[in-house]
A and B are shown apart, each in its own frame.
Chain A
Amino acid sequence: MTRISRKVCIIGDFAVGKTSTVTRFVNNVFSEKYLTTVGVKIDTKDLELVDGRSLRMVIWDIAGSDRFSSAEFAYMRGAQGYLLVVDGTRKETLASALALRAAVEERYGALPFVLLLNKYDLVDEWSVSDAEIEALNKQGVLVLCTSAMTGKCVEKAFRDLAKSLTGVSAA
């Protein structure tokens, strides 16, 4: 049987909810507790594709920062797509996310990615305007408002990424 695997990374500023998003996607759980990721944490998750094949996503959850050090760059090497995570309640994390994107593209070329505006459950503290999202959409960036806490759009984010990685929709 054909086995397909893809390396995807999840990057973004610290505490934006990268680990929470992966944990929600992989184990479908959420914790309020903040345990910062050191280095990289790796998880895998299988997705069934509509063509019957199964895709194993090898997810590299990379320690958050606003700028990549050489180690983080090394972890990004060979990634076939990534999730760019922003904390929707902290506007500055959007800027650092975009900076990371630029750095990755400079180093490894354009890769499929999905931008996640996380913590969408905290609507009161939401600080990203619709206009900004619109602007990103215009650039062709796929933007999703997600919440690792409620699980909103988390699965969709990974499925959308899977589709851009394989050209086939997840079943």
Chain B
Amino acid sequence: MSELEKLREILFAKEKQTLENIRERTETPSTRTRDVAEVLPGAIGLSHRKDPQLVKALREPVRESFEYAVDKNPRAFADALFPVIGPAIRKSIAESMKALVQSMNNTMEYSLSPKGFKWRIEASRAGIPLGEYILRKTLVYRIEQVYLINRERGLMVGHVQNESAVAQDADAVSAMFTAIQDFVSDSFSPDHRQLLETADIGEFTVWVLHGPYSMMACVIRGEPPRGVRDELAEILERINLQYGEALEDFTGDSDSVEGVEDLLGECLLLEQLASGEDSKKSAISPPLLIVLLLVGAALAWWAYSSFQERQRLQAFRQAVADTPGLVATELASDGRVINMRGLADPLADDLEQVMQRAGVGEVAVAADMAPFQSLDAEIILRRARQGLKPPAGVEFSMRGDTLVASGRAGAEWREQFLSRAPLIAGVASADASATFVRDEELLRQARMALQPPAGVVLGVEDQILSIAGTAPQRWIDAVPEGLESVDSFADIDDSALVPSELAALDRIVSQLDGRTFYFASGASLLDSRNTALQSAAIQLQEGFALAELIGRTLDVQIMGFADGVGSLESNREVMRLRAEALKRGFVAAGIEADRISTAIAALPDNPVVDESMRKAELRLELRPAVPTP
């Protein structure tokens, strides 16, 4: 070692050591690796921030190493990508589906079938595109059971089912699914890798969705739309994200997958939701049903009432047309009120009667009618009746424009009729010929009808019937009845008609009144065989009977007289006795005692003896009938 060397040693020993260290670090690969490793992350970060050169440089090597890795172990990549790739694919499919749905919408836009229309309403109510709604509508399904099965062992990881599903040994079913899966792969797949995805068993469809270590078998009743599979796949992905490791290492202990059935249950929920929505759409929801019923009822009511309205209007129109004196120029109904314009004769029926005839019941009619004089025959007749006041029994009718009167009418009225009728609007001339019958004809009819007895004279002059003469009361009483069948007379004159009974009675009264029966001096006895008394009694009997027949009263009184010889008292006594004696005589001859009253004559103050006064007298008087109370 030279001096210089030594000096250097003394001066730079420390630096030399440092240099030596640096040399060793730069030259030894292992230390360099460690150094670079220390700064590499920072360096890359810095470089990346500074300029894009690094990314460019790394692109190729990274790509190559990635390819290499995928090539070497594809399964690991598939498993790693599974949770990511599913949503990605589904998203792209969903996009294309949307386009399909859109085009279906457009197609349906022009479908005007009732069904299409109904679906359109329901879809808009559900707030989904029509096409999608149709897809759902045409595919009715329900997920009954879901099995999550460990594929390696066929052990059931989880199982959920609808309440309605028939309970089964889920473990056995899971194993069986796996066995079938194996069988299918083994038998039909050349590389033993294809997997069973769908199986149809009667009304059930089984969908098998495959995850990396497990499969999800869904037992579905009916035909599920394809889109449901995506939703199921999404659930399986979530399960895989959450339970990936537990599923990979599943040995049959449920602890490791606790909670997985909650996730599986979403399949049923999703199904129930979807199928619930479906059933809601296929069976109309109660509120909608009510609305539809109300609308239906309203429509039916509207149809019915508008039909009724038209019927009513038609009936009313007809009734108006059939009513004389009414002319409707406008007639319309606004549903509640019938509006009418036109002309109305004051004598026409009022609207209430018209409505009654139309049978339209309670309906409001607003009428704006101008008055006019109708030339309708019925109205002309009414006008004539009003103006000419025909007597009872006279009828009017129209023959063309001639007013014809018929029936029993007096000459005076007839004259009036003939002169005034042509003044009535609508009447050109008048004809009263039918109001009288010729006198001869009337007389003939009267004779026929009355069969007058002898002593009665009938006559007709100027339509007046005269009846004269005597006739039994019975016949007289029957005259009005007998004339009923005869054409009318202007009047009946029966002033000269006397009942024959009355005539006979008058005769009797004139014969018997004042009849005198004489007594001997001072005597008050009468010979009972006195013939005059006997015949008077017979006449009296007849008189009473006749009076009764014609309703008159025949008063009979016997008055006693005296000759004035002797005292006043004795005279009175004799008078009384004589009247009584004569009455006794009549009673003995058959006259009822109470039909005859007795009386005594008045005596002068100074009586003169007169023998002619030894008598008793009959006094008869015919009184009109006393009305019986």
Q: Which residues of A contact B (CB under 8 A)?
A: 2-7, 39-40, 42-44, 56, 58, 60, 70-71, 74-75, 77-80
Interface string of B184-201 (1 = CB under 8 A from A): 011100001000000000
Q: A7-B175, A78-B150 are in contact. Are A71 and B182 (CB under 8 A)?
A: yes
Which residue of chain B has its CB nearest to the CB of A2?
B255
Residues of A within 8 A of B172 (CB): 42-44, 58
B171 touches A56 (CB 8 A): yes
Q: Nearest Cβ distance between residue B459 and chain A, in whole angstroms? A: 137
A37 → B minimal CB distance (Å):
12
A79 and B183 alpha carbons, distance in the complex (Å): 16
B254 within 8 A of A: yes
Q: Chain B nearest CB: distance from A117 CB in Å?
A: 27
Contact of A6 (CB < 8 Å), options: B174, B185, B252: B252
Neighbouring A residues of B192 by C-beta, 8 Å? 70
Q: Report the bound CA distance from A23 to B297 in whole Å.
A: 67
The one of B154, B176, B183, B254 that contacts A78, using a Cβ cutoff of 8 Å: B154
| Neighbouring A residues of B169 by C-beta, 8 Å | 44
Question: Which residue of chain A has the shortest Cβ distance to B150 in the bound complex?
Answer: A78
B137, chain A: closest CB distance, angstroms: 39
B253 adjacent to chain A (CB < 8 Å):
yes
Roughly how many angstroms separate A79 CA and B182 CA in the complex, as a whole number?
14
- Assuming A5-B171, A60-B179, what are 5 further A-B pairs, CB within 8 angstroms? A4-B253, A39-B179, A58-B175, A78-B151, A78-B153
Query: What is the minimal beta-carbon distance from B613 to any residue of chain A, in angstroms?
Result: 162
Q: What is the chain A residue whose CB lies nearest that of B257?
A: A3
Residues of A within 8 A of B254 (CB): 2-5
Measured CB to CB, the nearest residue on chain B to A39 is: B183
Given A2-B255, A44-B171, A78-B150: A7 touches B176 (CB 8 Å cut-off)? no
Contact A80:B154 (CB < 8 A) given known A60-B175, A70-B192? no
* B245-262 near A? 1/0 per residue, CB < 8 Å: 000000111110000000
Interface residues on chain B, number (Cβ under 8 Å): 25
Q: Quick one: given A2-B253, A2-B254, A80-B252, are A7 and B183 in contact (CB under 8 Å)?
A: no
Q: How far is the CB of B210 from chain A (nearest CB, A)?
A: 15
Q: Which residue of the partner chain B has the closest CB to A1?
A: B254
Q: In the bound complex, what is the Cα–Cα distance between A2 and B256 (angstroms)?
A: 9
B154-173 CB contact bits vs A (8 Å, 1 = yes)? 11100000000000010110
Partner of A5 from the list B155, B185, B187 (CB cut-off 8 Å) is B155
Q: Please, how many angstroms separate the alpha-carbon atoms of A92 and B377 in the complex?
A: 131
A4 near B252 with CB under 8 A, answer yes
Q: How far is the CA of A163 from the CA of B261 in the complex (A)?
A: 28
A58 and B192 alpha carbons, distance in the complex (Å):
24
- What would 8 A/B residue contacts be, using CB atoms closer than 8 Å? A5-B156, A6-B252, A39-B179, A56-B252, A74-B185, A77-B153, A77-B182, A80-B252
Contacts of A7 in B (CB 8 A): 153-155, 175, 252
Cα–Cα, bound, A70→B182 (Å): 10
Report whether B252 and A75 are in contact in the complex, using a CB–CB cutoff of 8 Å.
no
Most buried by B among A2, A39, A58, A71: A58
The answer to whether B183 touches A71, judged by C-beta atoms less than 8 angstroms apart, is yes
User: Complex Cα distance A66/B88, Å?
Assistant: 48
Alpha-carbon distance A30/B174, docked complex (angstroms) = 26
- B152 at interface (Cβ–Cβ under 8 A)? yes
Q: A131 to B174, alpha carbons, bound, how many Å?
A: 42
With A4-B253, A7-B252, A44-B169 already in contact, the answer to whether A75 and B153 are too (CB < 8 A) is no
Chain B residues lying within 8 Å of A60, measured Cβ to Cβ, are 154, 175, 179
Chain B nearest CB: distance from A90 CB in Å?
Answer: 27
- The answer on a CB contact under 8 Å between B155 and A70 is no
Chain B residues with Cβ below 8 Å from A56 are: 171, 252
A42 contacts B176, CB within 8 Å? yes
User: Looking at the complex, which one of A3, A44, A75 makes contact with B179 (CB distance below 8 Å)?
Assistant: A75
Residues of chain A with a CB closer than 8 A to B253's CB: 2-4
Give residues 357-385 of B contacting A (CB, 8 Å). none
- Distance (whole angstroms) from the CB of A147 to the closest CB of chain B: 25
With contact pairs A44-B171, A44-B172, A78-B154 given, residues A71 and B186 touching in the complex (Cβ less than 8 Å): yes
Residues B252 and A40 in contact, CB atoms below 8 Å apart:
no
Distance, CA A77 to CA B155, complexed state (A): 11
CB neighbours (8 Å) of B186 from chain A are 70-71, 74
Cα separation A39 to B151 with both chains bound (whole Å): 18
Q: Within 8 Å CB of B153, what residues of A? A: 7, 77-80
Q: State A79–B254 Cα separation when bound (angstroms).
A: 17
CA distance A42 to B174 in the complex (A): 10
Least Cβ distance of B261 to chain A in Å?
11
Bound Cα distance from A74 to B254, whole angstroms:
24
- Give the Cβ gap from B188 to chain A, nearest Cβ, in Å: 12
Measured CB to CB, the closest approach of chain A to B306, in angstroms, equals: 71
Within 8 A of A (CB), among B214-254: 251-254
CA A44 to CA B169, docked complex, whole Å: 8
Looking at B153, B155, B185, B252, the one whose CB has the most chain A CB atoms below 10 A away is B252
Which residues of B sit under 8 angstroms from A80, Cβ to Cβ? 153, 251-252
Nearest CB in chain A: distance from B250 CB, A: 9
B175 contacts across to A, CB distance below 8 A: 7, 42, 44, 58, 60
Contacts of B154 in A (CB 8 A): 7, 58, 60, 78
Chain A residue nearest to B173 in the complex (CB) = A42
